[in-house]
A and B are shown apart, each in its own frame.
Chain A
Amino acid sequence: MQSFRYHHLPSELSTVHVALFTNVANSAALRSRIVRASQLEGPDGDAEREAVNFAFIDACLICSLLHLQTAVYQAILAQAQGSLRTKTVHSEILWTLNPTNNITEAIRRYGVGDATTSLIVVRIASPDLDNVEQRMSSVVDGTLVSLDDLSKVTDWASVKKYYKLNGEPALKDAAKDPERERVIVDEIVTSSVAMKSVMA
């Protein structure tokens, strides 16, 4: 797990914990648990919601750590300025990652799905929250790996499809060089995420 601090942001949003899990076995159960948690009422519901109070992101669609950080940062910024488009800062990350404005589509594509095997878990919290890694591991049944392994799980074809990059002039020159193409795709996708809030 990796943690980042943004000292200039309000304290309750200033710390970001990110972890990458591979070989995730309980993605279907996790998904239904999140859905159920949102419907529970009373103190039980609050406890359950706190237990799954993370952003669960399909790691296949994340190009680089910078891509993820950009989305997280823009989501925190929206929360800090009171301009959230979705209900929580965690779902805002998913919305920011998706190229369109459709929230359901964002959650379906970038959130945890029944077939998800690698998962990025993000928690935005105040610096006082502890045991975050333990909390994450108790929810996700998978292997906690270093974020450097992110590049191994990225599904570039899907990324290109969702961002409609096939046939873009930018990729034509680099079509024969996958290494270069990835740099270009990463750049376009990261930039798109960064400017999501002012997208035409």
Chain B
Amino acid sequence: MWALSRRLLPGEPYTPSAVSGGGVAGSGADPDRERGRWRLEECLRFATELAGRKGRRKGWTGLADEMAKAGWARLHPPTSGSSSGAEDEGSHVLLKYRFHKQYRHPTLDSSLTKSRVAGEARALIKCLRSGVNVPGIRMVDAAEGVLGIEWIDGKSVRFLLGGGAEGEVEAEDDSEDAQDDVPVEEEEPLKEAADTLMSMIGTEIAKMHKADIIHGDLTTSNMMLRHPSSYKGLQLVLIDFGLAYTSTLVEDKAVDLYVLERAFASTHPESEPLFAGVLKAYEQYMGKEWAAISRRLDDVRLRGRKRSMVG
């Protein structure tokens, strides 16, 4: 769902209704607030329909318009951000749906889906226990391939650094998102804010690597800055653990950092000082483990992500 909605419609992804509060009947919930939310079955219907439509037209072009015409865009939540008070925070759930792949044998498909959903959930809980900021898990339906995770009220680092959203026109106005720590008007404080952000990123990755979790897909799109007004406060949150795995190897940690370095270089101008800031904080947190990782990172830079095939 995450990937799909990010790609399909401008603005923030969909806010499904709370899994647990899915259709809270007659409990006096504000109908205005309820209207923008999604229920589980709506999400499933959306994802299924999306998959079907995409399959028929063989691509993403024009899909958003078509879905909007079919009435889907009306379900997009109002962008007013501040409408949800602190009391119902944590009740928004994001559903990540791994839909059925028609090209795979059904048995293989269900076992793959199941193990991937389980793997992602396990990586998340391990991160939570190790103190890494990640979204909490809200529901797991391995049989159907649905993973419900906490909705993060905030923006992706990619967006904050001016990288824009992926493949779409970002229609947000900056004024509502201009946080005190990320001012957009002046050069100097912006740089300072970016430095702070980079050190937050470095610390978070270091915490994760200390727990021997490798993210596998570190990019600036997979990091979000939680809105300071949310009840957990300002935080850098790592998201999308779909490719995560556990490893103690220096090689894997170095490659993880290398992947992020390449992501920085390809999406943000003048990324070098930014990434240096990330490494500095990472080094501080990792302590004496850093030396080995640093050496290996230099090796990886020379040869690329994949090891050469020997033997």
Contact = CB atoms under 8 A, between A and B. Distances in A.
Interface of A: 2-8, 15, 66, 69-70, 72-74, 77, 81, 83, 165, 168-173, 183-184, 187-188, 190-192, 194-195, 197-200
Nearest to B130: A169
Interface residues of B, number: 40
Interface in B8-65: 19-27, 39-41, 44
Given A3-B25, A190-B138, A169 B211 contact: yes
A168 B131 contact: yes
Contacts of A5: 22-25
Contact of B41 (A8, A72, A183, A190): A8
A78 B131 CA distance: 30
Nearest to A197: B140
A194 B142 contact: no
The interface centre, meaning the residue of B27, B41, B124, B138 with most chain A CB atoms within 10 A of its CB, is: B138
Contact of B121 (A168, A170, A172, A195): A195
24 contacts: A4-B20, A4-B22, A7-B23, A8-B39, A70-B19, A73-B19, A74-B140, A77-B139, A168-B129, A169-B131, A173-B131, A187-B136, A188-B129, A191-B125, A191-B128, A191-B137, A194-B121, A194-B148, A195-B124, A195-B140, A197-B140, A198-B117, A198-B118, A199-B122
Contacts of B122: 195, 198-200
Contact of A192 (B114, B125, B130, B231): B125
B90 interface: yes
> When A and B form their complex, which 5 residue pairs have the shortest distance between CB atoms, in order from nearest?
A69-B20, A8-B41, A170-B131, A198-B118, A5-B25
Contacts of A171: 131
B262 to A, nearest CB: 29
A33 B114 CA distance: 40
Given A169-B131, A188-B128, A194 B21 contact: no
Contact of A195 (B44, B91, B125): B125
B243 interface: no
Nearest to B139: A194
A195 B123 CA distance: 11
Contacts of A172: 131
Interface of B: 19-27, 39-41, 44, 90-91, 114, 117-118, 121-122, 124-125, 128-131, 136-143, 148, 207, 210-211, 231-232
A7 B148 contact: no
A170 B130 CA distance: 5
A26 B218 CA distance: 55
Contacts of B44: 8
Contact of B142 (A15, A191, A197, A200): A197
Contact of B143 (A3, A4, A81, A170): A81
A142 B140 CA distance: 35
The interface centre, meaning the residue of B39, B90, B207, B232 with most chain A CB atoms within 10 A of its CB, is: B90
A34 B143 CA distance: 33
Nearest to A196: B140
A127 B82 CA distance: 34
B154 to A, nearest CB: 16
Nearest to A74: B139
Nearest to B45: A8
A123 to B, nearest CB: 15
B138 A70 contact: yes
Nearest to A77: B141
A65 to B, nearest CB: 8
Contacts of A69: 20-21
B3 to A, nearest CB: 21
Contact of A168 (B21, B39, B118, B130): B130
B131 A198 contact: no
Given A74-B139, A191-B124, A195-B140, A4 B27 contact: yes
A2 B141 CA distance: 25
Contacts of A173: 131
Nearest to B19: A73
Contacts of A190: 136-138
Contacts of A2: 27
Contacts of B232: 183
B19 to A, nearest CB: 6
A198 B20 contact: no
A6 B140 contact: no
A124 B22 CA distance: 15
